[in-house]
Amino acid sequence: MNTIIEPFRIKSVEPLRHTTPEERQGYLEQAGYNLFLIEARHILIDLLTDSGTNAMSTAQWAAIMRGDESYAGSESFFRLKRVADELTGFRHMVPTHQGRAAERILFTVMCKPGQVVPSNTHFDTTRANIEFTGARAVDLPIPEAADTQAHVDFKGNMDVAALESLVASEGAARIPLVMLTVTNNSGGGQPVSMANIEAVKRVCAQHGIPFYLDACRFAENAWFIREREPGYADWTPKRIAQKMFSLADGCTFSAKKDAFANIGGFLCSNDDRVAQQETNLLILTEGFPTYGGLAGRDLEAIAVGLEEILEPDYLRYRIVSTGYLGRHIADRGVPIVEPPGGHAIYIDAARMLPHIPPRQFPGQALAVELYRHAGIRSVEIGSVMFGDAARHELLRLAIPRRVYTQSHIDYVVEAILEVNARKQQICGMEIVEEPPFLRHFSARFRPHP
Ligand code: F0G
């Protein structure tokens, strides 16, 4: 059988509410054409993010009922710790309320003003948290990543030669740690190969620089390694993930992605001294080390989710269904970041809408049109989000885990193809109001005259 079915059945459902194009035009005007400012009940298919939007399993909901809400020494913490320890092998783990809390604690402990933190590509909260300490966040993607149309198996890799020259020019003492984001979200949801993780590890070890994973989508990355990297075809995703973690000195993790949770995260480290400082800061800002800003029930959901996410049937379906959306639009002429990533499809809006210059935000224009046409919410990743630093004008369609069925995705495909058929009529946008930073969340727009 070739049909890949959703490897779950549905026990509890949430209604979706249809709206008319006229109603959606009204919501757009009220929201200043910013989809972050539209109420979720006015969205039909929400592809804004795959973060915290997962559907939990019956086993997760059952575990939630046994959540131990003790302030100190909660059983739920030890359950999560056992699962995380077995998976990651790191000496220390503290829970945090989400990924960026782990980042803030890690960088506050490790970074000083004037230092440099390289990554394949930093996610925006990672970059912001590094820069908040006065250090500089540097992206070192491989050169092929610049071409959205290049088909490369591990397009999320770090440019190891660029890392070596950065270490040579800055000096190892100015690099408090090296990060690798798996999968590379800002780089199109593209995976990182085991060989690349090993090569980065070698450079770090040679210079005594700690090496951390931003492990948000570690399971999707492990599946890509199994499928594409010679030597791993008969490894379980879990064994691949264990090897990935074994090469690092620590990790940050957002459980809102590859742990099927709606909230949560953790921070791991092998360094006793760093871990002690992290724990001190955790108590100050998150909570006691056995709950770290979460309820006991959240710790339970994460513990169960971390095991479910590594099921081969799930990961096969996950990667095939994301690819299904990508192929069905790309093969009919919609330019996407090739090849399809793990958690999202990114449309190259600059290439699709060449009549809209970057300063008129082609990604935002496309996001608005897709909502107006079909009630689908996506997110611009381009000049609205990054200003002049934007490398591409992308529209991200992120797929929540286990939430939408194939017919939902077929609807998305149909809507995108219909919008693509009359793309010449889409006009650019201009900003009428914006905050001083992270403007994409609250800026207001209007159609360019
Ligand atoms: N690192 C990566 C690679 C991420 O994608 C995210 C979040 C974070 C860190 C921060 O984690 O949200 O739990 O604080 N990404 C979401 C997204 C928001 O839509 O891509 P968080």
Q: Does the CB atom of residue 185 touch ligand 1 within 6 A? A: yes
Pocket test for ligand 1, best of 100, 122, 346 (most atoms within 8 A of CB): 100
Whole-number Å distance, alpha carbon 85 to ligand 1 midpoint, is 22
Q: Does the CB atom of residue 343 touch ligand 1 within 6 A? A: no
Q: Whose CA is closest to atom 2 on ligand 1?
A: 123
Pocket test for ligand 1, best of 106, 220, 252, 256 (most atoms within 8 A of CB): 256
Sheet (strand 379-381) strand order: 344-348, 394-398, 379-381
CA–CA distance, 281 with 286 (Å, rounded to integer): 8
338-382 tens-digit pLDDT: 999 999 999 999 999 999 999 999 999 999 999 999 999 999 999
434: left (phi over 0), alpha (psi -120 to 50) or beta: beta
Give the nearest ligand 1 atom to 344 CA: 20
Span 168-194, average pLDDT: 95
CA–CA distance, 296 with 69 (Å, rounded to integer): 5
Contact 91, 290 (CB under 8 A): no
Q: Whose CA is closest to atom 16 on ligand 1?
A: 51
Q: What dihedral do alpha carbons 241, 344, 361, 421 form, nearest 10°?
A: 150
DSSP for 220-278, written as a single string: HHHHHHHHHSTT-TTS-HHHHHHHHHHTSSEEEEETTTTT--SS-EEEEES-HHHHHHH
Q: Does the CB atom of residue 51 touch ligand 1 within 6 A? A: yes
Q: Whose CA is closest to atom 4 on ligand 1?
A: 123
**Do the domains 21-50+311-447 and 58-308 sit in the same CATH topology, yes or no?**
no
pLDDT of 325 higher than 80 = yes
Contact 322, 343 (CB under 8 A): yes
Helix (H, G, I), strand (E, B) or coil at 159: coil
Containing H/E element for 137?
strand 136-139
Q: List alpha helices for 55-188, DSSP H.
A: 58-65, 75-88, 99-110, 124-132, 160-170
Work out the pLDDT band at 265, boundaries 50, 70, 90.
Answer: very high
Q: How is residue 146 written in tokens?
A: 């610049």
pLDDT of 437 higher than 80 = no
CB-side neighbour CA atoms (13 Å) of 153: 12
pLDDT, position 187: 75
195-254 tens-digit pLDDT: 999 999 999 999 999 999 999 999 999 999 999 999 999 999 999 999 999 999 999 999
Q: Whose CA is closest to atom 7 on ligand 1?
A: 51
Q: Does the CB atom of residue 256 touch ligand 1 within 6 A? A: yes
pLDDT, position 240: 98
CA–CA distance, 367 with 346 (Å, rounded to integer): 12
Whole-number Å distance, alpha carbon 99 to ligand 1 midpoint, is 6
Span 93-109, average pLDDT: 98
Q: Whose CA is closest to atom 13 on ligand 1?
A: 99
Give the nearest ligand 1 atom to 183 CA: 3
Q: Does the CB atom of residue 99 touch ligand 1 within 6 A? A: yes
DSSP for 321-355, written as a single string: HHHHHHHHHHTTT--BPSSP-SSEEEEEHHHH-TT
Residue ranges of domains in the chain: 21-50+311-447, 58-308
Whole-number Å distance, alpha carbon 311 to ligand 1 midpoint, is 22
Task: Answer positive or negative: Cα dihedral of 217, 220, 226, 230.
Answer: negative
Assigned fold of 58-308: Aspartate Aminotransferase; domain 2 (3.40.640)
380-397 tens-digit pLDDT: 999 999 888 888 999 999
pLDDT, position 389: 82
3-state helix, strand, coil in the chain (%, to 5): 45, 15, 40
Pocket test for ligand 1, best of 35, 51, 122 (most atoms within 8 A of CB): 51
Cis peptide leading into 312, omega within 30 of 0?
A: no
Note the CATH architecture for domain 21-50+311-447.
Alpha-Beta Complex (3.90)
Q: Does the CB atom of residue 220 touch ligand 1 within 6 A? A: no
Q: Name which of 201, 198, 194, 202 is nearest 154 in CA terms.
A: 194
Phi, psi of 426 (to 5 degrees): -75, 130
